[in-house]
Structure 1
Amino acid sequence: MKRAESELFIPHRSLGVVVGDVAPSIRSTFVGKRSTLSVLCPIDNFIIQYNGKKLRAIGMSDPLNDRVSAVASSSSSVFAAAGTQISVLPFCREITETLDLGVPIAQIMLVGTQLIAIDSNSGIHVIETTSENLQKSLHLEGNSESFEISAICHPSTYLNKIVLGSASGKLRILNIRTGKVIHEFQREFGAKITHLEQTTALDVLAVGLENGEVFLFNVKMDKILGAFRHDTKVTNIAFRDDGESTMVTADANGTIAIWDLEKQELLGKITGIHSNEINCLHFIPGEPIMFSSSLDNSIRLWIFDSADGMPRELIRLEGHSKPCASAKFVSQNEILTAGKDGSIRKYDVTSLTMRQKLGSVGPGKDMKSTVPSNTTTTAVVQNVAEIAFGWQREAAWNNVFCRQVNDTKITTWQTRNNTHGAFHLEHDRFKKKVDFIDASATALAVSSCGNFVFIGYSTGHIDQFNAQSGRHVHSYTSAPPKSSKKNSKNRKSKSSSFINSNGSLQNDAPAADSPITALSVDQLNKELMAVDKDGHIVFWSLATKKPVARMFKSGVQLGISAQCPVNSLVGVVSITETGKEGVVLVDTICHTVARAFETVGPKVNALTFSSDGKWLLVADNQSYIRVFDIVTSQLIDVLLFSKPCVSLSYNETGQYLATVHEGERAIYTWANKEMFAMDCVVRALPPNYVPEWDADDIGMIMIDSDDEDGDDTRSQLGKALREFKKVTIDENLISFSGLPSSRWANLPDLAMIKERNKPTEGVRKVKQAPFFLAAAATLDGFEFEMDEMEGKDQDQESHIAKRELLELESAFSKVLRSANTKQDLLAAFDILRAMNLSGIDFQIRSLNPKTLPIFFRMLLEVLKTKKNFELVQSYAVTALKTHRSIVWSTKNGDDVASPEDEELTEVLEEFYKYEKENWNELEDLFVENMAVVQWIKNALL
């Protein structure tokens, strides 16, 4: 999905899509004598690699410049067609080569070392892959009107020849080396050829047609050997090669048919597994294991081990088969999603392999008894409109509640066991009265304690249910019935108070005269806020079940809402008479409007608060997500996508933002740059600011430019802030480097840490020696036999190596020796600062008596700039601790100190003097501030 650059959020990961619309490629790689099977699935503009044994994601390619339209692979390379280019990815990671054909590519196939590419105009491109660069060896211009290529196949033992299938039902044999058509069959199959596959027999191909027919066709004899039929278009064909004469075919409805070729009869069909077109069938060579993938976003492994020849499912990897409708974080890293296919799934933001299906929306366990046992029915797929979650009672009972579109029932789920709930939540009025046949649940909320669920309906009713038992507790009405205490004590249940002896409902007045659009419960579980469509906001006391406050504004309709997780604010969408929408923040404690945001787009699709309650995020129907700062009521960021966002969710720690977009099965997660980046821009933008796509380069994801002449406001703000952070506010202030503590805090004790982390057991000796080495058996294993001369030579060589090691000079030491000016010393410090912890420790230990004074001179010059204060202290302590024998050496008698010793002493004295002066100044400020703070603490106010 295309998106624009943002200063507050950066793409993190897309979840939920396991396979795209392009057929995967099965790749076998050999490491020695072992072969490894992997599945390459193109998704959008990248390729995900799965392990063929367990279908676990093991890698992801770099993004390509366009959407991947086809993929082919060999044991050494992966070839991907994206737009008009063909890219080479040897390890399915980095793109090493790219060849632009100038025409969009529809299909590619690898024949030996030659890559066959079919473009959108039915043109044929033959590309050699053995050279260092991709080279086009043949190009045949196509004519889609006379012969539109719809399928391609390379028959076994047919050297440099391919078979082409057309949309008119004709076949053609082409020589890819000379570019000549060898033979064109006069036979017409009567429908579009959708798939060609080589059978286990030579000269025989399987031809799949759009009308559902499958023919076994002998290319050499021009003869049909057998015919089979499906109900709809045939999309893929595969053959077992482990000794069994079995053919497997797939159609556009997701049906898999298994055929016995010897008897030419149908063994059986598999229906209801794949709900969409199957685009890939593949048998692992020599094994009864089949791989299948479908456009319903699922991959499956099958094994043929039953007596009837039918397969059984081994492994399933799937996501939402239809676009996702809603998403909500249920923990720091886990996110719960609901799709239009009726399934509820849970994903882990930090892992591609952690996924779980909780179930599908359908009849609950309490509804199964009403269905006769002799009937076979399927659950009605319903679209989930809203997810309400409560974590307080996750370990006890159902804690997730889903509201469906055009339905009064609320389904229940449990995230602890990842299962469907045992009951539905539905009031009896919708079963008893015919007037409520078109009613639906329009709002949903869970109490802060997790014990109660509140449901609002299109009829204006508000019901309260017990989350543990699913029983009705109370219905909020505008005119509550008057009943005596004696009658209330004799009631058998809360819900029975609304039913007469004759079965009719009584005292069931609605809480509002218009549909309820939003419900929310405060964090103290004291009040329920109900919002209706006509502009009324009513606050109900949960203790007395009576209204405590009302808010109303004429001429305004109220829509969806979102509750802040850390304060008493609730965001509500307001719609004026002219159709203009805005968002108002209602304070549930003071019962007033605290903020109002008007420039939120034509229509609000979703809104949410950040985890700390500082930001309000509003998604509109024009593919924008606006981020507002609540304290200042300013617009601080605008996110632009290629598709509108329909659901938003922030995780509890504020690290990730999850978005669901219209028509997309994937859930996109974005990292909060304010928590990870140092140059995150948080500044006010004009209220009408919106980013735009770059008209010159539509395919690029990033639209922000760093050109000085650019008019991009966001880019200018980012550059200004980065330049501002480089400026020192006052030269007398000491500043830190900004590096994490792991880059300098443990440097003085790094040697002790490495000594402590050494393995307790040494390296074990090999029990068997190579056959060409003489060895003597010992108690521990063996020892090599060597004479004394060899031992002496090795000892001498080790001493020479140690001496040469001591005389080695690192690159950093050379930079220090060549430093003559202050700028050279500061440049040397920048080199040392860029190294990791072990590298810095090595460079400091490599200092000799000649370079040690220069090293302290470098630290002194940096200290004078009053920057990188913590790095200077850490480096100085490490150098003094490591070279203390040189620093503390004294000359006795008539010995004269060397120039290096005199220089080192002079530098250390100056270093000590400068540090003492600065510390005395800081110490006076510390003492003064501590005295003022202590006086304030002890003062009687």
Structure 2
Amino acid sequence: MSGGGSSLFSGFRVLGLYSNHVPHALRYHQKHREFYLVTSVGKCFHTYNVNRLGIVAVSNSLPDDISCLAADRMLVFAAAGREISAFAKNKEVVMCYHGHKQEVHLLLPLGDQLISSDIGGDVIVWDFPGGEVYLRLQFDPASFNVSAMMHPSTYLNKVLLGSSQGALQLWNIKTSKLLFTFPGWSAGVTVLQQSPAVDVVGIGLASGRIIIHNIRLDKTLMSFTQDWGPISSLAFRTDGPPIMASGSPQGHIAFWDLERRQLVTQQRHAHSTTIAAATFLHGEPLLVTNGADNAIKVWIFDQEGGGARLLRSRQGHSAPPTTICHHGNDGKNILSAGQDGTLQSFSTVHERFNKNLGHGSVSKKKEQNNKKRKGSSSLYEELRLSAITTFSSATARQSDWDSVVACHRGRLAATTWNYQRCTMGVHHLQPPNTPRSAVATAVSITSCGNFAVIGSSCGRVDVYNLQSGLHRGCYGDKEKAHDGTVRGVATDALNQLTLTAGSDWLLKFWRFKSRKQEEQLKLNVAPASMLLHRDSGMLALALDDFTLLVVDIETRRVVRKFSGHHGNINDMTFSPDGRWLVTVAMDCTIRTWDLPSGCLVDCFLVAMAPVGVSLSPTGDFLATAHVGSLGVYLWTNKSLCGLVGLRPLPADYQPAGETLPGVTAEQSEQEVTSEEVDDEYKSAEQLGAELVTLSLLPESRWKSLLHLDLIKRRNKPIVPPAAPPAAPFYLPTVPGLTPRFTLPMTTEQEGQSKVLDWGVLAQRSEVGCALEESLQSGCFDRPIRLLKDCGPAVLSVEFTNLTSQGGGASSLLLAFIKMIEHMLASGRNFDLAHAYLGLFLKLNLHSLSEDPAAMDALVRLSSRLEAGWAELQTSFNQSLCLLTYTKSAVL
């Protein structure tokens, strides 16, 4: 039976991904007056503002991993394989360029053109507004393999190309002519960088030399030599001091004074891997660097002697994490230990709350002294501890002393860490009289936060006091709790019971204080790991035969047994209520077991095998870590947001794959960093047929329509009106205060009536003409739009003129009623429809009663009004009832 993905969890986001080996791109936004940094993280790129290093945009994913990045004032260009994509607003692909036959490794925007180079020797110049090939240059990689590319400042349509053979060529891309060839310096060119001076270019070589060369005179001005291998990046300060920065593959940065032609200072271990790119912000003493160690750093030059210090950074694991666990009861922080040896805390709220507890060291004093003396890299590496294999944390006494205890690969002594100070602790917990080959394998901190229980490969289980770091005893008669390796240790919520599991197939129960064995449980297979849910007293054991056992520590019996994994079970986690057990294994599945029913209720596949899992204490997020991935992935628990129908899955269930979640931009950060006018979101005119939409006009435009006569009485002038000037001589008038025109003489052919109809003299208004047209077409948008622009007084005049006495016609009355019916049927302008209808009936009720067609239309309109209001009344009553119940509920 095949599955349809996870019914319990859905991908949300990934934490801890910031950069890789691809050099970053820096752009300046003139409208925001801010610098933005673009870094690659695989198949997509992230955009950060340099001021806060907050992520503002995440691009759409490309089919392959990004190999190079470039940016101009409007677009971001990313090359993935043989395809180049142009992104607008740092998100959407607006143009694709196809033409390369091999992987693209260099990009250079130049005006309205884009220059790209692949590893096969093709250099293509694109007109990127249209995506057309403007020029194609073919180089032989054996004689001139393009390794660097730049545009010399003030050199119109000129591009300088560097090769891995050492030679440089200056080309005019408009005329497709080779202007000059520089023979080079007997080493491959790795970096080309424009200096603040015109005609002067910085050239980084694979031999470690840096050449400052005048390309107009073909003269070398100065040269430097870096002892750390090839030059990986070059950058020049533009805010005053003539300083040049050079990066190395070892992660060091050297700063050179171009006036005195000497080394000013150096920043060792700026990154743990190669400096992918280093860029000075224009006119500011800030240097932005990124590397393959998954770190972005901003350095500021405010130290004496021209040195730099770290101003702000975003850093994740430089090697995949191996163990993760939520820290605290709020579920907002995730502790993660990686193969790089660091212990980090990632916040699910915002990246500014992330913490890096650093890398473990044999001796903190020796490490600090070595840094001050700027010792060798080999000694620096010898002082660092190996990667953390397992750890345990507690928040009960974290403000008083160290709250995290970790075991390291191949090391017997366990280390302590202080979460609040974000540093390694002062204690190394090592049991006495232990063989040198022994290794710490399991650790658990008691719920009170005072003690740590540590198991080792020689079978010892020792207890330490975290405040003093002193050894408080060990379990077993001969200082040995098991005959084999201790695979897991745990303590209950009241510090009454200690549980240990070993490779000797035994699960043992000990008294915590007396350290005496009470009982042991013989297992059929050796356990691989162990996890205790303290609130419920359920103990989960992962066995070497890929099965799971759940033991009740009160009755000390096996209550559940699960099988279904087809690989080593790497990690387990309980739900906060102890109802679910979530397990991850090397078979790339994440399975959720329901303990009350004893069934598998959810299972799904992921692309990379998960090695760590942790469900938050609040139950809202599931965190996973995977083989070969540097991030921590979050999955939302859909059962907290709505009803989820969980059913037992059959034994032959074939799980479906789920895509790993990606990074999302923070809602609090500004998202758009393009200088183009942003497209504002336009709300729909109507959300649903059962809902109504108001006009959003001011209340004075419609609320006072039924009170116009009262308003007129209040606004009646106090001073009597003056006599108007005489009418024109050609219009005969009747004497009196109020001007009245003399009726024209009628003839017998015109009839005997002497009452003049005003419709003969009156002109049809624009609203009346629009109503007549709408009655024929059935579209009443234009008259509604015209009425919205009218004030209350003008509306009164317009509605009066709809009758035959006011110059209108019977068809206009019918058209107006049809218009109101159309407004009510569409649900839009609900307030205006009722206000207009009320004023219309008040002014024209006598004329309407004499028109049979209008009366029939009014009867139909009345039934629609009653039905519509009944639906609204029901919704109002339900909402009011629910609100009243909520207010009166006693919590």
TM superposition score category, shorter chain reference:
0.7 to 0.9
The answer for the alignment partner of 1:264 in structure 2 is: 261
Once the two structures are superposed, residues 239-268 of structure 1 have per-residue CA deviations (whole angstroms, 9 ceiling, x without a partner) of 223343322211111121122223322223
Is the 1:366–1:423 contact (alpha carbons within 8 Å) kept by the matching residues of 2? no
Aligned-residue sequence identity (percent) comes to 27
Match of 1:253 among 246, 250, 255: 250
Instruction: Give SS of 1:674's match.
Output: helix
Q: Which amino acid aligns with 1:391?
A: T
In 2, Cα distance between the equivalents of 1:95 and 1:634? 45
Cα distance in 2 for partners of 1:402, 1:545 equals 23
Residue in structure 1 matched with residue 387 of structure 2 by the alignment = 383
Q: CA deviation at 1:278?
A: 0.7
Mark the structure with the bigger radius of gyration: 2
Query: What is the DSSP-based 3-state SS (H/G/I as helix, E as strand, rest coil) of the residue aligned with 1:325?
Result: strand
Classify 1:220/1:399 alpha carbon distance in 2 versus 1 (closer, same or farther; 3 Å).
same
Structure 2 vs 1, CA of residues 653 and 372 (structure 1 numbering), >3 Å: closer, same or farther? Answer: closer
**1:744-764 CA distance string (max 9 Å, x none):** 9xx99x99xx99xxxxxxxxx
Give 2:23's aligned residue.
Answer: 23
Q: Which residue of 1 aligns with 2:744?
A: none
Aligned to 1:935: none
Q: Pick from 624, 641, 650: which aligns with 2:606? A: 641
Using the alignment, how far apart are the partners of 1:814 and 1:680 within structure 2?
Answer: 49
Equivalence for 1:240: 237
* Native 8 Å contact 2:394 2:449 kept in 1: yes
Q: Give the secondary structure class of the aligned counterpart of 1:320.
A: coil
Q: Relative to structure 1, is the Cα distance of residues 57 and 701 closer, same or farther in structure 2, using a 3 angstrom cutoff?
A: closer
- CA drift of 1:447 comes to 2.1
Structure 1 332/849 Cα, relative in aligned 2: closer, same or farther at 3 Å? Answer: same
Q: 2:294 aligns with which of 279, 294, 297?
A: 297
Distance 2:61 2:33 in 1: 27
Amino acid aligned to 2:181: E
For 1:56, the equivalent position in structure 2 comes to: 54
What residue ranges of structure 1 are gaps of 5+ in the alignment?
431-435, 480-507, 694-699, 703-742, 756-795, 808-812, 820-824, 833-841, 853-882, 887-895, 920-941
Distance 1:212 1:5, change over 3 A: farther
Q: Helix, strand or coil for the counterpart of 2:30?
A: strand
Look up the equivalent residue of 1:615 and give its one-letter code. Answer: W
How much does 1:119 deviate?
2.2
Paired residue type of 2:91? R
Which of 70, 73, 83 in structure 2 is aligned with 1:72? 70
Aligned to 2:402: 398
Residue 786 of structure 2: aligned partner: none
2:634 to 649, 665, 669: 669
Alignment-mate amino acid for residue 542 of structure 2: V
Which residue of the partner structure matches residue 358 of structure 1? 357
The 1:324/1:144 distance shift into structure 2, 3 A limit, reads same
Given that 2:620 and 2:637 are in contact with CA atoms closer than 8 Å, whether structure 1 keeps it comes out as yes
Structure 2 partner of 1:194: 190
1:444 aligns with 2:443: yes
Identify the match of residue 597 of structure 1 among 562, 565, 574. Answer: 562
Determine the structure 2 residue equivalent to 1:122: 121
Answer with 93-102 or 587-596: which moved more: 93-102
Structure with higher RCO (Cα < 8 A, 6+ apart)? 2
The 8 Å contact of residues 816 and 851 in structure 1, kept in 2 or not, is answered as: yes
Counterparts in 2 of 1:469 and 1:78: CA distance versus 1, 3 Å: same
SS in 1 for 2:639: helix
Residues 232-631 of structure 1 correspond to what in structure 2 (within 5 A)? 232-306=229-303, 308-330=305-327, 331-363=330-362, 378=380, 379-430=383-434, 436-477=435-476, 479=477, 508-554=478-524, 556-564=525-533, 566-575=535-544, 580-631=545-596
- Partner secondary structure for residue 226 of structure 1: strand
Does the Cα contact within 8 Å between 2:362 and 2:385 map onto a contact in 1? no
Deviations along 1:381-407, one digit per CA (max 9) or x if unpaired, are 321111212233344433222222222
For 2:40 and 2:457, locate their aligned partners in 1 and report how far apart those are by CA, in whole Å: 43
One-letter amino acid of the counterpart of residue 359, structure 1: G
Which of 193, 216, 221 lines up with 1:225 in the alignment?
A: 221
Residues 590-616 of structure 1: CA deviation (Å, up to 9, x unaligned):
212222222212222222223333332
Q: Quickly say closer, same or farther: Cα 1:252–1:417, change in 2 above 3 A.
A: closer
* Aligned-residue offset at 1:516: 0.7
Distance 1:372 1:174 in 2: 46
| Gapped regions of structure 2 (runs ≥ 5) | 662-686, 700-788, 803-816, 843-851, 878-891
Counterpart of 2:95 in structure 1 is 97
* TM-score of the superposed pair, with normalisation by structure 2: 0.72
Query: Would the aligned equivalents of 1:237 and 1:281 in 2 still touch at CA under 8 Å?
Result: yes
State the number of aligned residues. Answer: 722
Structure 2 SS opposite 1:80: strand
Residue type at the aligned position of 1:684: L
Following TM superposition, by how much is the alpha carbon of 1:906 offset from its aligned partner in structure 2, in angstroms? 10
**1:210 deviation in Å?**
1.5
Deviation at 1:228, TM superposition (A): 1.5
- Secondary structure (helix, strand or coil) at the match of 1:358 reads strand
C-alpha distance 11-102 of structure 1, shift in aligned 2 (>3 A): farther
SS in 2 for 1:653: coil
Shift of 1:279: 1.4
Compared with structure 1, are the counterparts of its residues 630 and 60 closer, same or farther at alpha carbon in structure 2 (3 Å cutoff)?
Answer: same
Deviates more, 1:420-429 or 1:165-174: 420-429
- AA aligned opposite 2:411: D
Alignment partner, residue 889 of structure 2? none
Cα distance change on mapping 1:701 and 1:360 into 2, 3 Å: closer
CA distance in 1, matches of 2:402, 2:798: 68
Name the CA shift for 1:908/1:172 in 2 (closer, same or farther; >3 Å).
Answer: closer
Deviation string, structure 1 residues 385-439 (Cα, Å, up to 9, x no partner): 1121223334443322222222222222343454443423222334xxxxx1111
> C-alpha offsets along residues 153-196 of structure 1, whole Å, 9 cap, x if unaligned?
111222212111122222222232343433333x2432321111
- Contact 2:388–2:409 (CA under 8 A) maintained in structure 1: yes
Deviation at 1:649, TM superposition (A): 0.9
Task: Report the equivalent of 1:722.
Answer: none
1:155 to 152, 156, 164: 152
Q: Under a length normalisation based on structure 1, what TM-score does the superposition of the two structures give?
A: 0.69
Q: Deviations over 1:903-928 (max 9, x none)?
A: 85899699999x99xx9xxxxxxxxx
Say whether the 8 Å CA contact 1:635–1:687 is kept in structure 2: no
Candidates 12, 15, 33, aligned match of 1:35 = 33
How far did residue 644 of structure 1 move? 2.1
Could you tell me how far apart the structure 1 residues matched to 2:494 and 2:593 are? 26
Structure 1 partner of 2:756: none
One-letter identity of the residue aligned with 2:109: L
User: Do the aligned partners of residues 192 and 799 (structure 1) sit closer, same or farther apart at CA in structure 2, a change above 3 Å counting?
Assistant: same
Question: What letter matches 1:568 in structure 2?
Answer: G
Shift of 1:573: 1.7
RMSD between aligned alpha carbons? Answer: 4.3
Displacement of 1:645 in angstroms is 1.6
1:581 and 1:851 mapped to 2: Cα distance? 75
For residues 139 and 393 of structure 2, the distance between their equivalents in structure 1, rounded to whole angstroms, comes to 57
Change (3 A) 1:609 1:818: same
**How far did residue 314 of structure 1 move?**
2.7
- Output the amino acid matched with 1:19: S
Distance 2:58 2:51 in 1: 17
The separation in 2 between residues aligned to 1:366 and 1:137, in whole angstroms, is 61
| 1:60-112 deviation digits (Å, cap 9, x = unpaired) | 23333432222211222222223333333332133333333454322211112
2:209 aligned partner, one-letter code: E
Quick check: 2:23–2:276 contact (8 Å CA) kept in 1?
yes
Indicate conservation of the 8 Å contact 2:565/2:587, yes or no: no
